Structure 1
Amino acid sequence: MRPRPVTALVLANLKRQVRDKVGMFFIVVMPFITIVFVGMALGGDAADAELPVAVVADTSDPVSAAVLAELEADEALEVRRAGSAEDVRDGVRRGALAAGLVMRPGDTGFELVVNQTSGSGMAARGEIDVAVGRVSAVLEATRAARAAGASPEQADAYVRKAREEAVAVTVSSSGGEEPDRPTGFAYTAPANLLLFTFVNSMAVAAALVESRRIGMVRRSLAAPVRQGQVLLGEALSRFLVAVAQSLLIIVVSRFLFDVGWGDPVGVAVVVALFCLIATGAAMLVGALVRAPQQAPAIGPPVGIVLGMLGGCLWPREVAGEPLNTIGYLFPHSWAMDALLELSRPSAGLGSVLVEVAVLAGMAVVALGVAVAVFRRRALESV
């Protein structure tokens, strides 16, 4: 198969896409507007700002006073004193506080108030755990030294070592179960990659309808070009647009929002398979509809609905079990699970083999159906 006709068709389609200013806005600009606002709503990235934390503590209690001192010494936290536990809960509920800690005199079990779906809340929880852990370690070292009858010098050495080796502690939380998914920009970046790659692929399907309308496909077939070459050129055009959209979001979110995508091989495989699925869906829509205006009117709304079901617009836990189950009938849920799993430090391609297998099957089906429909309607004008 000669590459020249395929290359010419791909270049013609890409030039037409670049000239579409509205389409380029939704490909280049709109994803990052969404990432910023939705990411901030889900907690954003608290690494560069102090996290507001409210504390209810009686400083006459030595344990509470020690924990409060540790928190106030933490440069990542902005510690505020609160009058009651209800004030703390209200502040966390309204989003004015990243987290709150309620310490009652004589009670070694503290109450942590945190919004478990907030990135800033989970960051504050980590800082609080460290502070409480240091105090706990010092107390344990002091008790051990006294029980062993250590000299004052030995006791001081135990305490210094305990301060350096903070241990993890258990703090009862009133904010729900700890989430097993990233939050903030770490969540919205992969979510919007899937959402906009699919939505914009469906919108770009209008170009295929336009190619049929102006007779570009028929003229290509009338030339010494095989139908397979035309099909490959049209599919490759849409696949390259989907890949470009995905790469743009990955690169910009990495450097602008410091999003860690994880294992590059695993991410590349998942994104490539999803782009193939989006390509198949775009070609199917482009082959079925009869007017260029119909593709953007039908495709993007379908993509948004699938994005909702797949957790691309909000954490899937919010939607409930019935909608989550329905979501797994479509590729967004599987791709979202795979990308979030790959963002974990120890995850790799082997961690998402089930998701990859499902996405590969969906890609085969989507492209197979699209090719069959395209072959049947390739010579039709609109």
Structure 2
Amino acid sequence: MSAVRAIVVANLLRQTRDRVGLFFMVVMPFVTIMFVGLAMGGAADARIPVAVVAADGDPTAAAVLRELSSSPALEVRRADSAEEVRADVRRGAVAAGLVIPQGSTRFDLVMTQTSGSGMAARSEIDVAVGKVSAVMEATRAAEKAGAGPELAAEHVRAAQAESAAVAVRDTGGDSGGPTGFAYTAPANLLLFTFINSMAVAAALVESRRIGMVRRTLAAPVREGTVLFGEALSRLVVAAAQALLIIVVSALMFGVSWGDPLGVTVVVALFCLVATGAAMLVGALVANPQQAPAIGPPLGIVLGMLGGCLWPKEVAGEALTTIGYLFPHSWAMDALLALTRPGSGLGTVWTEVAVLAGMAALALGIALIVFRRRALRVA
């Protein structure tokens, strides 16, 4: 264990001397979480601003406005024109806008498809419009059955009162998912843990290039000890990055990560995947400059496919399906699922099993390849 400790300490000391690497580990994740999180709605309990154009005196518009205003997730702002709504959406003053023409039942929704807060606002608007539509349809049905307008309205109000007493229990289905910091914190944990793990693979390449690994093996140290020490060094960096994001995002942005055991297992397995990827890159590339040139771009692409840069529904079904070939999608699904009340490790056992298989595969291949190349000077 003393040899393993010496290898880990030497690698970590080398990492602390890399100021650029420390910036991307310590500062950049939180800058990204803050700005992207604000763009997606900020704190988890923040109300999403929406603009509404509606004519005074229009009963349909008044009903929709009442439903929107009753939503705890929305902050409804009145606008004077459709052009004003579009301008507000473009500059980010509101997440979405709804234009209700006088006397019409066809509304215009204004939003940006790549906006997470816009998608959340659309979900709330759909619910509000659906409720109003249901009331209108029920009123028409009552009138067709022979009831007068006043009696039809009375029947609808009675039906609404009865339906309000029905309790709806959340069984864990997708209700739109978290937004704001609650989304960007786990997304950036996965993104930066993987990217920075791949970036520090350059140190492994440098160790091979200058013959440090070969000289270590010249000492009375087993080959497996060296492999374990190098892998543990990368795992410590990945775990430190993940732990830093979890702690700081909870303290600075009020992010609730959910069940501690579930989060620990998911994050640990993802760190093992990132470690295997870093070891593989460090074993395959020929010089230290190639590792940061290959690793971070690959990490960004996988993050895009896995929903770490934007919600998966924005990418479309085809890209989302492809994303499940890689660990980011499974880890992202697991971390988001764990934020739901009542969720625990048992809720994400499928994701955990897949991540465990991916971690074993990545580490197994990486150690085999590195073992074969460890005695060679790149």
Normalising by the smaller structure, the TM-score range is 0.7 to 0.9
- Contact 1:44–1:120 (CA<8 Å) still a contact in 2? no
Deviation at 1:39, TM superposition (A): 2.4
Partner amino acid, structure 1, of 2:23: F
| Aligned partners of 1:53 and 1:124 also within 8 Å | no
Which deviates further from its counterpart, 250-259 or 37-46? 37-46
Give yes or no for contact 1:46–1:119 (8 Å, CA) kept in 2: no
Local SS of the residue matching 1:16? helix
* Matched-pair contact (CA < 8 Å) for 1:31–1:192: yes
CA distance 1:340–1:49, shift in 2 (3 Å): closer
Question: 2:359 aligned to 359, 363, 368, which one?
Answer: 363
Could you give the per-residue CA deviations for residues 116-166 of structure 1, whole angstroms, max 9, x where no partner exists?
854377469769979x99xx99xxxxx99x979xxxxxxxxx9xxx8xx89
Taking the TM superposition and a 5 Å limit, the aligned residue runs for 1:154-193 are 180-193=176-189
Could you tell me which residue of structure 2 aligns to residue 7 of structure 1?
5
Among 8, 18, 26, the alignment partner of 2:24 is 26
> Does the Cα contact within 8 Å between 2:52 and 2:100 map onto a contact in 1?
no
Structure 2 vs 1, CA of residues 187 and 378 (structure 1 numbering), >3 Å: closer, same or farther?
Answer: same
User: What residue number does 2:94 align with?
Assistant: 97
2:248 is the counterpart of 1:259: no
> Match for 1:306: what amino acid?
L
Give me the whole-angstrom Cα distance separating, in 1, the residues matched to 2:274 and 2:35. Answer: 25
Offset at residue 276 of structure 1 (A): 0.3
| 1:96 CA drift (Å) | 3.5
Cα deviation, residue 50, structure 1: 8.0
What is the rounded CA distance, in whole Å, between the counterparts of 2:9 and 2:187 in structure 1? Answer: 29
Whether the 8 Å CA contact 1:64–1:103 is kept in 2: the answer is: yes
Amino acid at match of 1:4: S
2: CA distance between counterparts of 1:225 and 1:46? 51
Give the unaligned 5+ runs of structure 1. 138-142, 149-157, 169-177
Is 1:237 the counterpart of 2:233? The answer is yes
Say whether the 8 Å CA contact 1:114–1:122 is kept in structure 2. Answer: no
- 1:235 aligned partner, one-letter code: A
Alpha-carbon distance, 1:105 to partner: 8.0
Alignment of 1:245-324 (within 5 A): 245-324=241-320
**1:331 partner amino acid:** P
Report the counterpart of residue 40 of structure 1 in structure 2: 38
What SS does the aligned partner of 2:176 have?
coil
Pairing 1:335–2:331 present: yes
CA distance in structure 1 between the partners assigned to 2:154 and 2:333 by the alignment: 51
More off after superposition, 17-26 vs 257-266: 257-266
| Contact 2:48-2:117 within 8 A present in 1 as well | no
Q: In the aligned structure 1, how far is the partner of 2:71 from the partner of 2:348?
A: 38
Larger mean Cα displacement after TM superposition, 227-236 or 341-350: 341-350
Residues 35/265 of structure 1: CA separation in 2 closer, same or farther (3 Å cut): same
SS of 1:286's partner is helix
State the SS of the aligned residue for 2:200.
Answer: helix
2: CA distance between counterparts of 1:121 and 1:323? Answer: 18
Give the drift of 1:221.
Answer: 1.4
Cα deviation, residue 255, structure 1: 2.1
State the Cα distance separating 1:56 from its structure 2 match. 1.0
Distance 1:179 1:112 in 2: 23
Deviation of the 1:45 alpha carbon: 3.3
Note if contact 1:71-1:128 (Cα within 8 Å) is conserved in structure 2. no
State whether residues 194 and 312 of structure 1, in contact with CA within 8 Å, keep that contact through their aligned partners in structure 2. yes
Q: How far apart in 1 are the matches of 2:183 and 2:154? A: 49
The letter of the residue matching 1:269 is V
Equivalent residue, structure 2, for 1:77: 75
Q: 1:206 offset after TM fit, Å?
A: 0.8
Q: Distance in 1 between matches of 2:48 and 2:306?
A: 33
The 5-angstrom pairing of residues 211-226 of structure 1 reads 211-226=207-222
SS of 1:51's partner is strand
TM-score, normalization by structure 2: 0.77
2:56 to 55, 58, 72: 58
Q: CA offsets, 1:322-363, max 9 Å, x none?
A: 222222211111111111222222322112111111111111
Report sequence identity in percent. Answer: 65
| TM-score under structure 1 length normalisation | 0.76
2:354 counterpart letter in structure 1 = V
**Mapped partners of 1:123, 1:166: distance in 2:** 26
Please list the CA deviations of residues 61-115 of structure 1 after superposition, one character each: whole Å capped at 9, or x if unmatched: 678668868988999836324356x7656754664434456668889x8969474
